[in-house]
Structure 1
Amino acid sequence: MSQEIKKNSIGKVKTSNVIYPIIIGFGVVGYMMIQEFNPDAFKSVSFTSNSIFWLGVAVILMAFRDLGYMIRIRLLADNHLTWKQAFRVIMLWEFTSAVTPSAVGGTSVAILYVHKEGISIGKSSAIVMATSFLDEVYFILIAPLLYFSFGHSRLFDIPGSENLAEGLFTVALVGYLVKLVYIVVLSYGLFYNPRGLKWLLVKIFSFRYLRKWRYKMTIVAGEIMVSSKNLSARPLMFWVKTFGATFFSWTSRYFVVNALLLAFFLMHDQMLIFARQMVMWIMMLVSPTPGGSGFAEYVFTVFLGDLIPVASDLQKSISVGFAFIWRLISYYPYLIIGAFILPRWIKHKFHLPKLNRHHSN
């Protein structure tokens, strides 16, 4: 059974890995705090009963985000997963995403998480592929709508940081194009010609400089072929329901920052804040750090700081603090919950107490 774990890469997902994103995230925030510290900034922030209310809303929105994921995975599994199983899969999946770079992904591990909850390997592959497909469809559809609604200048013009803003636009554009290419290829494989896609991927990754990823791409192509049979016959209403859950989940996540800012300020341009968050998440796709740690905090300060209604010389200092609070609510809980669940899940599903001790170290 240990060979099965290695085969599905779960041996690389260790609870000890939580230390790296924490060190990176806290290190970046600490550095920025030292660089931008201004004691006058905190005089502009007052904690009131309104603050408690909106901070509570932020936490509830994150709970809604997980609820949307749970509803979706149960729909994709035809309700063969209980609510408890759905919660466990989502938390393990989020933990994997939190301790690995966004570009790396955790598809093979996610398939294993679903499969070990009693779903066949073929259907598990289809579930994971469908979630990936739905997530990318959300970004591909909503991002252009927001971009053309607000225009380039309102989304990317940062006072005093024009060159940086253009650099961030380039990062966001690259991230979007990666998503677009991915969804086109995945759609072609899932709904039109899975065998042709497998042949194409094997050919592409046979080239000298891509050969080291050939085996992994062959596995992915095989998963797409298996998933295609399961997903291509699904009725339209199935996709309406699952995309509705996807929309609910991601939209709830993006409104978390809105709630955080409303806890301390009378905010305007709520949809602009929402739009910039979406752009931030697309940028995080190319981050090399686990879960975008460090990069996310930095981009938050430069991309959302100018929207905070305080004097311009205080915005950087204030935004660093809000970036930290934002990650405390939206990122670090998954590290903690996942680190708690993963060793027990492995011990229960694989009956490997020695491996459990390895993961707990």
Structure 2
Amino acid sequence: MKDLSSTIKSGLKISLIITTIVFVVILFITTDSRTWEALKSINGKYLIYVILLNTLSWILSGIRYSILIRGIEGVNLNLIEALQIHLSYYFASSITPTSAGGEPLEIYLLSKKNIKIGQATALSLFRYVINTLTFAIASPLIIYFYSYLFPQNIVRKLVQYSAILFLLVVGGFLFALFKPRPIIRLVSYILIKLRRIPFLKRIHPFKILRVVNKTVRDFHNTLWFFLKEKKLTILGFFFFNLLSWITYFLIAPVLMSAFNLKVNYLSVVLVQIPIFFMMFYVPSPGGSGAIEILISLGFAPFVPKYILGIFIILWRTLTHYLTLLAGAIVLVYILGVKNW
């Protein structure tokens, strides 16, 4: 728990420092006398709509999670529990580089629901691959058919980079699906070589081999079970995953309406998809810094320059930081105040 607490603190610190610097730079570049007048004229009811849309995206994410978990025989995860895991995952992902902290916490929380480690790992990978696959398919199509939305060449180049990384992940997924034995050998070899680490040093090598063998086989069997027997479960997850993201992407155009701007809802939704696809692979915690810069490029054609800085800060606060706060509260509740 001490390591977890230290990681959380350092991740939050880095994320907040980067975001603060970027916010200050964006405000310095975009703010003038008209900015404060625009801020005073905000229509408050649209801010309520934004918060409601964000909350609805949480609920839809919880539903998709619940559907996926219930695919395992004998496991029943209600919506509240699924929502807790989703928000905790979001929090851990947002404060660690390349979202690397989300999956280990997700697997840990799932294992507390009587799900085997190998099964939890398979479910986490399923969620990641299906979620990212949606963006990987949609992003090139949007850039091709709606190229006028992306006059900046940097977005196209970064999408290509993200697609290459995604193909490597899918390659690893398929390899684990068809060739579990090399995975068992590789993981066992790494863990035995790392026996200098205190908590591994006390474990007998044969026990390491036995645990790795069981975990990888559970992982492999769960992947095949879902692909063969749970096609409707995968389809249900995909559907609610799509609904969750569409709800989330509607937040930006609704917030633009708060500034009394004329908004093309479809264009604003579409421009966000390739940008968020890239966010899966940004090394900074929660994409801090990069997301603000890229989304400001994406929203620039729709928002006047003197509003853009304030708009980005409001949008990021009412989506990312609001969800981050909810995730922190939920994680404290799950782990307990003493452990935290």
Matches of 2:138 and 2:328, distance apart in 1: 33
- Of 8, 14, 25, which residue of structure 1 is paired with 2:19? 25
C-alpha displacement at 1:95, in angstroms? 0.6
C-alpha displacement at 1:21, in angstroms? 1.8
Equivalent residues of 2:99, 2:285 under 8 A apart: no
| 1:271 and 2:275 matched | no
Task: Please give the secondary structure, in 2, of the residue aligned with 1:119.
Answer: coil
Matches of 2:257 and 2:11, distance apart in 1: 34
Matches of 1:108 and 1:170, distance apart in 2: 30
Matches of 1:325 and 1:109, distance apart in 2: 29
Task: Please give the secondary structure, in 2, of the residue aligned with 1:18.
Answer: helix
- Of 133, 139, 162, which residue of structure 2 is paired with 1:175? 162
C-alpha displacement at 1:11, in angstroms? 5.4
- Report the counterpart of residue 130 of structure 1 in structure 2: 126
- Of 325, 330, 334, which residue of structure 1 is paired with 2:319? 330
- Report the counterpart of residue 148 of structure 1 in structure 2: 144
Residues 127-185 of structure 1: CA deviation (Å, up to 9, x unaligned): 2122112111211222233222213xx1321xxxxxxx223322222112212331243
Residues 1-361 of structure 1 aligned to structure 2 (within 5 Å): 10=4, 13-14=7-8, 17-43=11-37, 47=41, 51-78=43-70, 80-102=76-98, 104-151=100-147, 154-157=148-151, 165-190=152-177, 192-196=178-182, 225-234=217-226, 235-308=230-303, 310=304, 315=305, 317-347=306-336, 353=338, 356=339, 359=340
Equivalent residues of 1:46, 1:264 under 8 A apart: no
**Counterpart residue type for residue 252 of structure 1:** T
Equivalent residues of 1:18, 1:99 under 8 A apart: yes
Residues 221-264 of structure 1: CA deviation (Å, up to 9, x unaligned): 98665323113223321211111111111222222112111222
Equivalent residues of 2:139, 2:277 under 8 A apart: no
Matches of 2:115 and 2:7, distance apart in 1: 21
Task: Please give the secondary structure, in 1, of the residue aligned with 2:318.
Answer: helix
Equivalent residues of 1:125, 1:226 under 8 A apart: no
Question: Percent same amino acid among aligned pairs?
Answer: 20
Task: Please give the secondary structure, in 1, of the residue aligned with 2:76.
Answer: coil
Change (3 A) 1:185 1:16: closer
Change (3 A) 1:268 1:338: closer
Equivalent residues of 1:96, 1:106 under 8 A apart: yes
Equivalent residues of 2:19, 2:288 under 8 A apart: yes
Equivalent residues of 1:136, 1:183 under 8 A apart: no
Residues 54-104 of structure 1: CA deviation (Å, up to 9, x unaligned): 323322221222112211221122161122221221111111011112253
Matches of 1:90 and 1:98, distance apart in 2: 12
**Counterpart residue type for residue 82 of structure 2:** A
Matches of 2:107 and 2:6, distance apart in 1: 15
Matches of 2:121 and 2:283, distance apart in 1: 26
**Counterpart residue type for residue 56 of structure 1:** I
Matches of 1:133 and 1:186, distance apart in 2: 8
User: Does 96-105 or 245-254 show the bigger shift?
Assistant: 96-105
Equivalent residues of 2:23, 2:313 under 8 A apart: yes
Alignment: residue pair count: 316
C-alpha displacement at 1:290, in angstroms? 1.2
Matches of 1:65 and 1:115, distance apart in 2: 25
**Counterpart residue type for residue 259 of structure 2:** F
C-alpha displacement at 1:327, in angstroms? 0.8
Unaligned runs of 5+ in 1: 158-164, 206-214
C-alpha displacement at 1:323, in angstroms? 0.7
Task: Please give the secondary structure, in 2, of the residue aligned with 1:102.
Answer: helix
Change (3 A) 1:140 1:56: same
Equivalent residues of 1:280, 1:299 under 8 A apart: yes
Normalised to the residue count of structure 1, the TM-score between the two structures is 0.76
Change (3 A) 1:166 1:35: same
Equivalent residues of 1:93, 1:113 under 8 A apart: no
Matches of 2:260 and 2:212, distance apart in 1: 47
Matches of 2:133 and 2:166, distance apart in 1: 9
